[in-house]
Structure 1
């Protein structure tokens, strides 16, 4: 059992893993943990941008969107927890610090100079769409590695992100 703590997702390998009786090879677990940490960074990034929008909304439909985003944040919080815990179940380290997220997120920077509800909804739609598409790729990648449990977890995350994206896009449709 190792107490090594990789500082970024590219440093995950079998020597960084804690022992487990989960029936996946060390190499497979290391690859899956790296994928998990990539998506974890994206999901934490999404958590933060949801709050950025929530705090700074102005204009028509403010209260409805403001309250909707509270629910979205709570759901993404649950996804973050489940994904991070899966990394540790596999013997890895969940990389959820602000520094790790900043270094490893695949999402574009969220604009901090917008305030109108519609502008935030457009930016959130972009972030949700990008995060959901990356999660869909993780479903396939972890399945191909033989870890159907992680693939199933990502399927749950994908369904939730897609549902919230639908709500956001519905607000934007005229």
Structure 2
């Protein structure tokens, strides 16, 4: 059996009265679709951790990972709706997310809490970096609303990265 990856979809724009040029909207939509892929991927990776975590901190981490996944679900919708508002089409299938995500595959051999926390912290850090870059890029393009959307998401992602990293600190790590 062969597996096929979703083909690149050419984006057509729908009419809108938003006062951004077609060129700017096209660039922002492409960036947002990349974010949509990464957000979908990160959500499924948080769910992977939620379903598979084991160990003495099981309940605490099980609930944390579910919270992370739920927040990411809200951001998926926020990003997809911004794409639509700009006259684009959100590319939000699992196949597109897998093909276009900036994140590495989740380590399926992770079992205990610290392994899952470290894997998610690594991915949250990559995602946060992407968001900060997107804040700057959309601001440079003159799309303050999308830049603000990215800023909103970035604040929570940085906070959640802090929550994840707090689980990894040991006394010996403190200077």
The TM-score with structure 1 as length reference comes to: 0.92
19, 43, 48: which one aligns with 2:15: 19
What residue in structure 2 maps to residue 8 of structure 1?
A: 8
Name the structure 2 match of 1:3: none
Q: Quick one: distance in 2 between partners of 1:37 and 1:7?
A: 14
Partner of 1:125: 121
Aligned partner of 1:71 in structure 2 is 67
TM-score w.r.t. the length of structure 2 is 0.91
- Structure 2: 5+ residue runs without aligned partners? 1-5, 171-175
Aligned to 2:87: 91
- Taking the aligned partners of 1:139 and 1:40, their CA distance within structure 2 comes to 15
Q: 3-state SS of the aligned residue for 1:101? A: helix
- The answer (yes or no) to whether the contact 1:54–1:69 under 8 Å persists in 2 is yes
Q: Which runs of 5+ in 1 are unaligned?
A: 1-5
Deviation of 1:114 (Å): 1.2
* Correspondence 1:28-47 to 2 at 5 A: 28-47=24-43
Q: How large is the RMSD of aligned CA atoms in angstroms?
A: 1.3
Shift of 1:111: 0.7
> Whole-Å Cα distance in 2 between the matches of residues 30 and 17 of structure 1?
8
Aligned pair 1:138/2:141, yes or no? no
8 Å CA contact 1:8, 1:104 repeated in 2: no
Number of aligned residue pairs: 165
The DSSP-based 3-state class of the residue aligned with 1:58 is coil
| 1:119 Cα deviation after fit | 0.3
How far off is 1:8 after superposition?
3.3
Asked if the contact 1:59/1:117 (under 8 Å) is kept, the reply is yes
Q: CA deviation at 1:126?
A: 0.3
